[in-house]
Amino acid sequence: MQEESKTAQFEAIALPHFGAAYNLARWLVQDDRDAEDVVQEAYMRAFKFFGGYRGGDSRSWLLTIVRNTCYTWLQSNRSRELSEPIADKLDEVGISTENPETILLQTVDAKLVRQALEERPIEFREVLIMREMEDLSYKEISNIADLPIGTVMSRLARGRKRLRELLVSSMSKETLN
């Protein structure tokens, strides 16, 4: 009876975040099958640690485990992607002021955005996904990725800046063609 209710409790807490878990894992490992394996393993780990879950923000709790499982997987399967840590410059929290014409990014093709995001190093990709797609706060991202809030902020700013540059250049290439 008790085990039955533990399983049911776990499902009620962890399964609502299944979509967010898969989306994050898929963006981090960048492959359908690998993302499925990683998400399944993350859920098994979460179930194992469920005794230690003391209530609170269940989405952050689960996504922390998903992200850690992704990094463990990447380390043993694609360590090259993680081998060059980026330098975080805290003062680099700016905006692009070059290119004064308004760029209509609203009209940008989702395919181009996907491609540009995929090309970003994982450190920027993950904060962009968590912020823009999962609508997580700086505090939540800082907890999940185990980063100081200032680093979350500067990575978001740098990530957006570079993403914008990539999109602007790929859009102007498209217009030329």
Partner 1 sequence: MICEEAHKLIHPYLDGELDLVRNLEIEAHLRDCQACAQAYNELRSLRSAVSDTALRFEPPVALRNRIRAGVRDESEITNRPWRLSRRWVIPAVTFASLVIVAWVLVVDSAL
Of 20, 21, 74, residue with least CA distance to 43: 21
Note the helical H segments in the chain: 2-14, 18-29, 32-49, 58-77, 79-82, 110-119, 122-128, 138-145, 149-176
Residue with token string 């999962």:
134
Provide, rounded to whole angstroms, the least separation between the CB of residue 169 and partner 1. 14
Specify the stretch interacting with partner 1 by CB under 8 A; choose among 58-66, 67-75, 76-84, 99-107: 99-107
Residue 38 φ/ψ, nearest 5 degrees: -65, -45
Q: Does 124 bind partner 1 (CB under 8 A)?
A: no
- Count CB neighbours of 23 within 10 A: 18
Binding marks (x or -) toward partner 1, 14..53, rule CB under 8 A?
Answer: -x--xx-xxx--xx-------xx--xx--xx--xx-----
In contact, 58 and 13? CB cutoff 8 Å: yes
With respect to partner 1, which residue has the nearer C-beta, 81 or 153?
153
The residue ranges that bind partner 1 (CB under 8 A) are: 2-3, 6-7, 10-11, 15, 18-19, 21-23, 26-27, 35-36, 39-40, 43-44, 47-48, 93-97, 100, 102-106, 108, 110, 113-114, 117, 128, 131-133, 135, 137-138, 153, 156-157, 160, 163-164, 167
